[in-house]
Amino acid sequence: MRPVIAGFVFILALIGAAFHLKAEESQFRKQFVENYRTNNFYAQSNLVKKNKDIMAAEINSLITEAMLPEKSYQERMNLLDIANAMATMNIHWNNGDEELLKKIEALQKEELAKEKKKTEGLEKLQAVEKVPGNFIMALHGEEMAAKGLSPVIYPHWVHRAFFRCKVCHEDIFIMKRGANEISQVKIQEGKQCGACHNGKISFNAGEEKNCERCHLLGRPESKPLMDLSYYSRDRFKEIASRVGAEWNPENLPGGKLPVDKLGFINWVELDKSKAFSPLHSLNAGPDPEGIRETTILFETTSTFLNNVLFSHKTHSTWVKCSLCHPNVFKPEVGANKVRMIEMKDGKGCGLCHGRVAFSYADCLRCHNQPRENIPQGVLIHRASAPAQ
């Protein structure tokens, strides 16, 4: 008898301690769960034997509740685990229906498979999006799957090698994920991606033969986009020449892309080395926005970090002033509270940094101005609150 009891204890252990069920519970179920909580195994056996006539209904009730669409994976599995324990005990003590247990086990197996697939999907997403600016486009996932296509991987870093951010943002794309409602219809009309992928500037995204050039998720061809090995001096030189940009690999230190300590491309170093000259507009001619030269010194109250020297020149080389002003930052010195704690939520500098620009986790990329050294001609943003 002891091995049987040990087996039941193991089954009950799978249920866990999370039995705060929102649906109306029968008195039997409440007592069943209570016996588990108190490890009152013999009371449990008496309860199951005494309620032989309602066991099947109780088990089916648990199954029905577990499979409600609003239930989370954890809630569903908790309920199925309870049902599994009830069904197992019902078979042992009441000679109950084994088909019920088989049904529950099949559902558990199915739910585990779904969760595994979901987890694998998240792992793929994390692998792709570890590179700043890379993201997966799967809004029309069912439609893609029906056509035998995987979701799209958009590699910001490849596009950024030939185009400044201001080329697309905000004229072609709103710089907020999910806000653009990208569709193949719009692309074929020459909008969104179709502004460049038209067979002239770049390959024609409207031609079926080119579908798999973007729909790459899960395919071997996607790996170079995640480890930066897609870069080839000859390939990039050819692309730059075709679109009207410049790529000068002979200026790269060691012939390799400069990377920061996190292994991501250091675009500022690329500019300094004159290894490339991306387009600032799809139209020929000087940059209509121009470059703003103002530099702002942000004082920090931190005892272990240097101040931040913010270069408008660096930022306005890449993005339009309207991207930040006035919606993200008020255009007056001292009018904004910049807090690290808000950046992780995409606020302030976090609109770009940690998403398409280098991570704010690389503290010294910004906090690199010694406190005792205040350059001449800079505007000063005084620290007024403890660093967050």
Residues in the chain: 388
Please name the residue ranges forming H helices in the chain: 2-15, 27-37, 41-50, 55-66, 73-94, 98-129, 141-146, 156-160, 184-188, 223-227, 233-243, 267-272, 312-318, 321-324, 340-343
Q: What is the pLDDT of residue 361?
A: 80
31-71 pLDDT, tens digit each: 998 997 888 889 999 999 999 999 999 999 999 999 999 99
Q: What is the pLDDT of residue 1?
A: 40
| Gap between the Cα atoms of 177 and 131, Å rounded | 16
Q: What is the pLDDT of residue 242?
A: 92
The structural domains of the chain, with segments of one domain joined by +, span 2-125, 135-277, 295-381
Q: Are 176 and 170 in contact (CB under 8 A)?
A: no
Instruction: Kindly indicate the confidence band of residue 4, based on its pLDDT and cuts at 50, 70 and 90.
Output: very low
DSSP 204-262: -TTSGGGGGGT--TTSGGGHHHHHSTT--HHHHHHHHHHHT-EE-GGGSGGGS--B-TT
pLDDT of residue 302 exceeding 70: yes
Distance spanning both ends of the chain, measured CA to CA: 61
Instruction: Kindly indicate the confidence band of residue 13, based on its pLDDT and cuts at 50, 70 and 90.
Output: very low
The whole-chain average pLDDT of the chain stands at 87
Q: Is the dihedral of CA 275, 250, 133, 355 positive or negative?
A: negative
| Gap between the Cα atoms of 9 and 90, Å rounded | 15
Q: What is the pLDDT of residue 145?
A: 85
- Could you tell me the two tokens for 14? 């799978």
β-pair partners for 308: 298
Q: Give burial (CB, 10 Å; 0-12/13-18/19+) of 50.
A: exposed
Q: What is the pLDDT of residue 359?
A: 85
Q: What is the pLDDT of residue 137?
A: 87
CATH number of 135-277: 3.90.10.10
Q: What is the pLDDT of residue 268?
A: 93
Q: What is the pLDDT of residue 157?
A: 94
- CA 101 and chain centroid, separation: 38
| Gap between the Cα atoms of 74 and 113, Å rounded | 14
Q: What is the pLDDT of residue 384?
A: 61
240-269 pLDDT, tens digit each: 999 999 999 999 988 899 998 888 899 999
Q: What is the pLDDT of residue 76?
A: 93
| Gap between the Cα atoms of 310 and 244, Å rounded | 30
Q: What is the pLDDT of residue 121?
A: 67
| Gap between the Cα atoms of 290 and 166, Å rounded | 11
Q: Which amino acid is at 134?
A: N
Q: Which CATH number fits domain 295-381: 3.40.50.1860, 3.40.228.10, 3.20.19.10, 3.90.10.10?
A: 3.90.10.10
Q: What contacts 323, CB < 8 A, 6 or more positions away? A: 165, 166, 169, 170, 175, 351
Instruction: Kindly indicate the confidence band of residue 24, based on its pLDDT and cuts at 50, 70 and 90.
Output: low
Q: What is the pLDDT of residue 203?
A: 94
135-277 and 295-381 share one CATH topology? yes
Q: Give burial (CB, 10 Å; 0-12/13-18/19+) of 60.
A: middle
Instruction: Kindly indicate the confidence band of residue 119, based on its pLDDT and cuts at 50, 70 and 90.
Output: confident
| Gap between the Cα atoms of 382 and 296, Å rounded | 10
Q: What is the pLDDT of residue 143?
A: 86
Q: Span 219-233, mean pLDDT?
A: 92
